[in-house]
Amino acid sequence: MTAQGEMIAEGPVETIEPEYFVFANNNEYLRGFASAANAIAMDLGAVKGGVQEKGPIGLQVMGATWGLVQCKVPSSSLSGLGIKVAVLDTGFDIGHPDFIGRSFTTETFVGQPVQDMHGHGTHTIGTACGPKEPSGDTPRYGIAYECQIFVGKVLSNAGSGSTAGVLAGMNWAIANGCEVISMSLGSSAPVQTAYTKAGSIALDKGCLIIAAAGNDGSCTGSPANSPTIMSVASLDQTLTPSDFSNDGKIEIAAPGRDVFSSMPSPRLHGIMSGTSMATPHVAGCAALWAQSSSTLRGMNLWERLQSSALRLNFPLCKVGSGLVQAP
């Protein structure tokens, strides 16, 4: 690769980098290398099943989830109307009854239908874009309930993908003018030029990419470690950093432990934990801020999210500017 890089130094190719596997950044679905290897094996057809750890089925709360309450979402008068939110993940359960009447723009980058057979994507979309008033006694779990939803399937039904697929999804979201792009995925790779470049282009075009910091208790993973992508850490219900949440390059924090949201049928709802769950809280609040003013786009939106965050008594490397707040 070094030799190739030297050969094309004067050509049209800007950089040559390794291709990395990326995974759903969720503490419930992916714990350690063994699960990562298992997901790859599933994608390659070597095995027909895998270990998937799922959280509790129910959560007894009234009105709204604890995460939305801490982010001041229920008191906001904004809905995300007119804002495009792209969630790049494992797809979505398009027939979910809580989303009847909502329109979706979808695309797959993994050679599988957009329909979510994993659950991670449906859960993250539920938090960022879910309904204001779910049916029955289900608590409110969604933030930008009137935004335009863009579903980019960049992770397979086993929860894994590649750098190329993620970049293709990012380009698709940017080309569609999505003001907010949420990515609850990552790897332990170092900063990658391609992600940094994509993040820079997004900011220049008025889009903001928000990504999960990772869940192995180490340094912020890729692509969240890129300087042009906003990195999100996870908080527990006591507003302390989650023990699994990575630190280092962290811009902001959000609820990530025991988060209730949508799941594919027939389950419909469930609880997950991870920086994956924190990221859509920030994405949803970003959509509300974007709706509040046409000037809050790209870097202006990034800065507003940070300046309005609730300060927490923890190092910046663990929580960044603090807990994200809705306008």
Which residues carry out catalysis?
Answer: 89, 120, 276
**276, 43, 166, 28 alpha-carbon torsion, rounded to 10°:** 0
Please report how many Cα atoms fall inside a 13 Å half-sphere around the Cα of residue 255, on the Cβ side: 26
Reduce the DSSP state of residue 124 to 3 states and report it.
helix
Residue 303 zone, left/alpha/beta (φ > 0; ψ -120 to 50; rest): alpha
Are the C-beta atoms of residues 143 and 188 closer than 8 Å to each other? no
- The secondary structure of residue 23, as a DSSP letter, is E
Give CA–CA dist 144/147, Å, rounded: 6
Are the C-beta atoms of residues 89 and 185 closer than 8 Å to each other? yes
Compute φ and ψ for 194, nearest 5 degrees.
-65, -45
Give CA–CA dist 56/70, Å, rounded: 21
Residues 6 or more apart whose CB falls under 8 angstroms from that of 324 comprise 71, 252, 253, 254, 281, 282, 285, 305, 309
Residues 6 or more apart whose CB falls under 8 angstroms from that of 94 comprise 104, 106, 114, 115, 151
**Residues listed for the chain:** 327
Reduce the DSSP state of residue 243 to 3 states and report it.
coil
CA 278 to centroid of chain Cα atoms: 8
Give CA–CA dist 156/185, Å, rounded: 12
